[in-house]
Amino acid sequence: MREELNNNEEIDFNYYIEVLLKHFWVIAAFMALGAFCAIMFNTFTRPAYQATVLMMINQENAGKLNTNPYASFSAEEDYYRTQYKLLESRNLLEKVYRQMELNKYEEFANPAGVKKLLKAIDITPITRSRLVNLSVTSFDPALSMEVANNIAETFVRDNISNRISMGQDVIRALESTERSEGEEELLNSMPQIVNSDFIKNLKLQETSLLNKQAELSSKYTAMHPEVISVKRQLSSVQNKIALETQRLVQSIKIELSGQFSGNNIRIVDNAVMPEKPIKPRKLFNLALGLCVGTLLGILFAFILDFFDQTVKSSEDLEKKLRLPFLGFVPKEKIKKNETEYAFMTKQGNFLLAENIRNIRTMLAFAQSQAPHEPLLITSSLQGEGKSNLSTNLAVALAQTGKKVLIVDGDLRRSRLHKTFRLSPELGLSNIWTAEGEKAEYAANVQAVKDVPNLYVMTAGQRPPNPAELLNTPKLADFIDWAKKNYDQVLIDCPAIVPVSDTLLWGKYIPYAVFVVKYGQTNTRVAQIAIDKLNKADIKILGAVIGHYQPSGMAIGKYGYYKKSYSYYNEDKK
């Protein structure tokens, strides 16, 4: 049970290949369309050039000169994202837009000039580094270079200016000669002063001396030598604190004013004029067009196949038409001077002959209950291969030693006289000229010279009223005669849907073989023909797929064709 389930779920790659091969020209047309669209796009797309500036951005750390450029990148992620956004900020771009008067250029013209400039910018950080590429795309290679360099230079200048402007208020407080209590408190609370080890030691000495002065003042007068000595030491320490504080203040002023300050952002490589356009990418567009065209073609091919109501396999016959499958009749190229049944009479194993013999065997099983009953060979419409099957099957039956009669039952569009190269003067239409004379039947039968045991009754001269002739007791009499004189009788009937002649034959012959054309017969039309046969109580022994065009994969799918196909190729060689 499990193996059966796995077999049902197995993907039929042969089916997909068959669909692709069948709709090859559809796929090829979509590929050509995709390539054509790509060529048109490449031809009419205006070339665009891109210039790139390489910049290095180090993290700024509280304005210190000794910023560590090798700090953890993950810890600086937010900082770098901020810088990348600043490179695209509207304030920066408006400044560059005004400086370069970009409104004079068509691609950056107002009213949405700055937005167009923003779209032309591309920020690309280089992985695991502090480097970033600033690219600008323009139709003018020189303009792309100038805009890229201008944006980078303006960004660097603004970075220095912003760092300086942030310390202006502090500088004004530091430069004031008469500081308020708040300014003094601000000064003494600055990190550079608070964290100075030298000032800390002096402050400790000052505190110690103040405590000692207070202790001595409680014991001695102000003129006591020890008190005077402590005051001098205290004054010296306080002067040192003031001098060191002043030195640190001057250092802070210099640092905040930007003097001797290293910029954390710099340009590594200026943009140069691009030599080749980056758009359109001609080879890429062509490859993309071919790929998209191919995918659309394949999709369209499967859509066509999904809505295809034609018969292409034994599964279609069994599922859609509910008919037993008898075999395929491959489409073969016949040379100009050869007969339609030439492959049946040649020495060797040919694909057509092998398949016809297989159909002969299948019919023998299907007709086991009435082995000598005549057979109608018909189809839903003209051109589906019924006459081709009739001819080759008659030859195959005659080769078994049976005495076979094939009758051209199509009085409207006869062709057996051409197939077997016989006279059209003798034939079926003549049996109605002499009523009651059964000798007329044999007189209108012609033997096939190159196929022993095979006899043909052509349609004869075309009568004006075929349906009326077939609807007379004379037809039943002729069929009884044929059954008595031949081992097997085949009637090559006309198509069912256009005319009712086949149903008139079916009044006396209850068995039929139904022929469909590979990839052409519509299942709905075929079902109409089958319904007519069923209503006329004509039993369909099975169906044959005519004009079949086998491919290597399809032959592999129907295993027993593989051997005959190899024989066929060897014989052709």
Q: Is residue 50, in this structure, part of any structural domain at all?
A: no
pLDDT exceeds 50 at position 566: no
b/e sequence 512-527, b meaning 16+ C-beta within 10 Å: bbbbbbbbebbbebbe
Shared domain for 399 and 532, answered yes or no, is: yes
Shared domain for 236 and 363, answered yes or no, is: no
Q: What is the DSSP string of 482-496?
A: HHHH-SEEEEEPPPT
Rounded to an integer, the average pLDDT of 477-498 is 92
pLDDT tens digits, 69-127: 444 545 567 888 888 898 999 999 999 999 999 988 888 887 788 999 999 999 999 98
**Residue 425 Cα to chain centre, angstroms:** 62
What residues does 28 pair with on adjacent strands?
none
pLDDT-derived band at 349 (thresholds 50, 70, 90) equals confident
Domain-ending residue, one of 260, 284, 299: 260
Shared domain for 214 and 327, answered yes or no, is: no
Q: What is the DSSP string of 158-217?
A: HHHHHHHHTTHHHHHHHH-SS--HHHHHHHHTSHHHHT-HHHHHHHHHHHHHHHHHHHHH
pLDDT at 39: 94
Q: What is the DSSP string of 301-360?
A: HHHHHHH--B--SHHHIIIII---EEEEEE--PPPTTS-TTHHHHSSS--HHHHHHHHHH
pLDDT tens digits, 316-343: 888 888 999 999 988 888 888 888 888 8
Q: Is residue 159, in this structure, part of any structural domain at all?
A: no
pLDDT at 4: 41
pLDDT-derived band at 176 (thresholds 50, 70, 90) equals low
pLDDT tens digits, 503-532: 999 999 999 999 999 888 888 899 999 999
pLDDT exceeds 90 at position 142: yes
Shared domain for 352 and 494, answered yes or no, is: yes
pLDDT-derived band at 553 (thresholds 50, 70, 90) equals very low
Shared domain for 213 and 359, answered yes or no, is: no
pLDDT exceeds 70 at position 352: yes
pLDDT exceeds 80 at position 453: yes
Shared domain for 438 and 370, answered yes or no, is: yes
Shared domain for 256 and 328, answered yes or no, is: no
Q: How far apart are CA 569 and CA 573, in angstroms?
A: 6
Q: Is residue 18, in this structure, part of any structural domain at all?
A: no
Q: Is residue 309, in this structure, part of any structural domain at all?
A: no
For residue 410, give the CATH number of its domain: 3.40.50.300
pLDDT exceeds 90 at position 162: no
Q: Is residue 75, in this structure, part of any structural domain at all?
A: no
pLDDT exceeds 50 at position 64: no
pLDDT at 311: 83
Nearest to residue 217, comparing CAs of 232, 227, 208? Answer: 227
Shared domain for 256 and 402, answered yes or no, is: no
Q: Is residue 329, in this structure, part of any structural domain at all?
A: yes
* 145 residue type, one letter: M
What long-range pairs does 73-82 form, CB within 8 A, spacing at least 24? 73/128, 73/130, 80/125, 80/130
Please give the tally of structural domains in the chain: 2
Q: Is residue 228, in this structure, part of any structural domain at all?
A: yes
Shared domain for 417 and 545, answered yes or no, is: yes
Range from 198-212, 258-272, 505-519, 542-556 carrying the lowest mean pLDDT: 542-556
Q: Which residue is listed with tokens 């198509």?
A: 495
Q: Is residue 41, in this structure, part of any structural domain at all?
A: no
Q: How far apart are CA 235 and CA 467, in angstroms?
A: 143
pLDDT tens digits, 403-422: 999 999 888 888 888 889 89
Q: Name the average pLDDT for the chain.
A: 82
pLDDT at 513: 94
Shared domain for 224 and 339, answered yes or no, is: no
Q: How far apart are CA 55 and CA 130, in angstroms?
A: 8
pLDDT-derived band at 557 (thresholds 50, 70, 90) equals very low
Tokens of 61: 């750390």
Q: How far apart are CA 469 and CA 484, in angstroms?
A: 22
Shared domain for 233 and 356, answered yes or no, is: no
Shared domain for 340 and 480, answered yes or no, is: yes
For residue 198, the enclosing domain spans 180-260
Residues 326, 543: contact at Cβ < 8 Å? yes
Q: What percent of the chain has pLDDT over 90?
A: 38
pLDDT-derived band at 36 (thresholds 50, 70, 90) equals very high
Domain-ending residue, one of 236, 260, 284: 260
pLDDT exceeds 60 at position 213: yes
Top pLDDT among 492 and 372 is at 492
pLDDT-derived band at 197 (thresholds 50, 70, 90) equals confident
Domain-ending residue, one of 260, 277, 303: 260
pLDDT exceeds 90 at position 443: no
Q: Give, as one character, the DSSP assignment of residue 466.
A: H
Biggest alpha carbon distance in the chain? 176
Range from 136-145, 165-174, 497-506, 564-573 carrying the lowest mean pLDDT: 564-573
pLDDT exceeds 70 at position 467: yes
